[in-house]
Structure 1
Amino acid sequence: MMINRSKLVEYCDELLQTSLFKDYCPNGLQIEGGDSINKIVSGVTASQALIDAAIEQQADVILVHHGFFWKGENAVLTGIKKRRIKSLLEHDINLLAYHLPLDAHKILGNNAQLAAKLSLTIEAYFSGNDIAVLGQVKPQSGHAFKTQLQTVLGREPLHVEAARNISKVALCTGAAQGYIEQAIDLGVDAFISGEISENTWHIAKENKVHYFAAGHHATERYGVQALGAHLAEQFSLEHQFIDIFNPV
């Protein structure tokens, strides 16, 4: 089944409530391709490798979390930016990107999806855009929780250990290590994010809480998969998630 591009974009924008977010990039349609959509390829980042894979799969849309046109970047279309956009235009492929709106969605979002995979019962949301989640897991040791996180993500997280069991957990995927102090103020035993900064180690250690840096890419694979699967079901489209390796 086919759907018109404008209808698909309008549906996504409304579903993810993009108008409510002040983001670092434009959300929604970033590169215009063909009008008729049958196949969606989703991935974390609109890298050349993902674009090449989508071309091979004859996709009409590439759906990503990390797209183009970030605030503060050089706007000149040279180098890799030129090559990426040239590939999309030559093959008439639409690029759809959703950043903070995809982090925040309470069902399809990166944080909600990762929480579900960790059997984390969400009780509240926090941070400036209410994208970070707070909840409970079955009480367990830090080692046991690390093992579970590693099993879910398929990679070993960096673990700042603490001498306490874990039951109250906050998480925010990607580069959200800056929320650790908000999480600590909420009384957590552990905070999970994608990345870690130099001072994150000391903040966690001195506050005696566990911190898990589980990978920016690894923690943000699930929102685009969930959104792509939802769109495929809603509009009888083809969808394929392509995971381009990134150890960060």
Structure 2
Amino acid sequence: MATAQELLHAFDTLLQPERFSDYAPNGLQVEGCQEVRRIVSGVTASRAFIEAAIAAHADAVFVHHGLFWRGQDGRVTGWMKQRLALLLRHDINVFAYHLPLDAHAELGNNAQFGRTLGLAASGRFGQQDLGFIGRRLDGPDWTGVEFAGHVRRALGRDVLLVGGDDRPLRRIAWCTGGAQGYFEAAIAAGADAFITGEISEPQAHYASECGVAFLACGHHASERFGAPAVAGHVAAQLGIEHQFIEIDNPA
């Protein structure tokens, strides 16, 4: 068993949220019971996830996408009321870490995503050094089509490939989630390909004009690896139970 404050201290020590300028409050977002025996991790604190955590007898949840974001309507109505009512009724703590979870060098979303795809990082790029850049860990360099096929098999979902050509991808850049705005920084860093969760209209033109392949593999699909890695690590450290619950999201 651990206390909620011991969990908060462990997460803050590991992820160092004070280093980041973020648009969400990192740390304990909803206070629940003080004694934690079981923590459940997931990507987003949706109602479906909260209901699954309740069914799993969670005392705390650890997520990447929490409940509160800068600029949102502060009224507790509709979906927000429903989520909060469930959490408060069952006395569940909510720990949420956004950019700090993306950035952690070993357990974060980008590190774990790269490991899943067989990529070895050799550097960082972009604002707050969130983007990773490197190359294939083993074997010859992929072409864009080959890499898209590899990602499709690794994630079990369709991948959108835009631009690029048949040249070997010697330098691959990646940043999970909605990081399409990092594409120009990836190009400037010398990437032959960039992979993230989403693509917006401008990036299709950049990819065609610059000859750098852009792969969009799904926001949720790219960010499902950091939360269980971090929560599992801290749970083992404090001697409590951990379970990852996947709530599928096509986005």
TM-score scaled by length of structure 1: 0.97
1:19 aligns with 2:18: yes
CA distance in 2, matches of 1:46, 1:103: 17
- Matched residue, 2:217: 214
Give 5+ residue unaligned stretches, structure 2. none
- Matched residue, 1:230: 233
CA distance in 2, matches of 1:238, 1:17: 23
What are the superposed Cα offsets for residues 66-111 of structure 1, whole Å, 9 maximum, x if unpaired? Answer: 0011000000000000110010000000000000000010011100
Amino acid at match of 1:156: D
Aligned-pair RMSD on alpha carbons? Answer: 0.9
Q: Which moved more, 1:128-137 or 1:47-56?
A: 128-137
CA distance in 2, matches of 1:114, 1:79: 34
Q: Which moved more, 1:57-66 or 1:117-126?
A: 117-126
What are the superposed Cα offsets for residues 128-153 of structure 1, whole Å, 9 maximum, x if unpaired? Answer: 11110010114122222111111221
Q: Which moved more, 1:67-76 or 1:140-149?
A: 140-149
Q: Which moved more, 1:234-243 or 1:56-65?
A: 234-243
Give 5+ residue unaligned stretches, structure 1. none
Q: CA shift at 1:155, angstroms?
A: 0.7
CA distance in 1, matches of 2:235, 2:12: 16
Number of positions where the alignment pairs a residue of Structure 1 with one of Structure 2: 247
- Matched residue, 1:111: 110
SS of structure 1 residue aligned to 2:28: strand
1:171 aligns with 2:174: yes
CA distance in 2, matches of 1:71, 1:210: 32
TM-score scaled by length of structure 2: 0.96
- Matched residue, 2:198: 195
Amino acid at match of 2:26: N
SS of structure 2 residue aligned to 1:133: strand
CA distance in 2, matches of 1:52, 1:58: 10
SS of structure 1 residue aligned to 2:195: strand
Q: CA shift at 1:165, angstroms?
A: 2.1
- Which of 145, 155, 164 is 1:153 aligned to? 155
CA distance in 1, matches of 2:207, 2:163: 8
Q: CA shift at 1:228, angstroms?
A: 1.6
Indicate conservation of the 8 Å contact 2:32/2:92, yes or no: yes
Superposition pairs for residues 1-248 of structure 1, below 5 Å?
Answer: 2-137=1-136, 138-163=140-165, 164-248=167-251
Q: CA shift at 1:167, angstroms?
A: 2.1
Question: Which runs of 4 or more aligned residues in structure 1 lie more than 6 Å from their structure 2 counterparts after TM superposition?
Answer: none
Amino acid at match of 1:9: L
CA distance in 2, matches of 1:235, 1:208: 48
CA distance in 2, matches of 1:74, 1:57: 30
Q: Which moved more, 1:231-240 or 1:80-89?
A: 231-240
Indicate conservation of the 8 Å contact 2:126/2:186, yes or no: no
SS of structure 2 residue aligned to 1:140: coil
CA distance in 1, matches of 2:144, 2:14: 36
SS of structure 1 residue aligned to 2:170: strand
Indicate conservation of the 8 Å contact 2:125/2:189, yes or no: no
Query: Identity of counterpart residues, as a percentage?
Result: 49
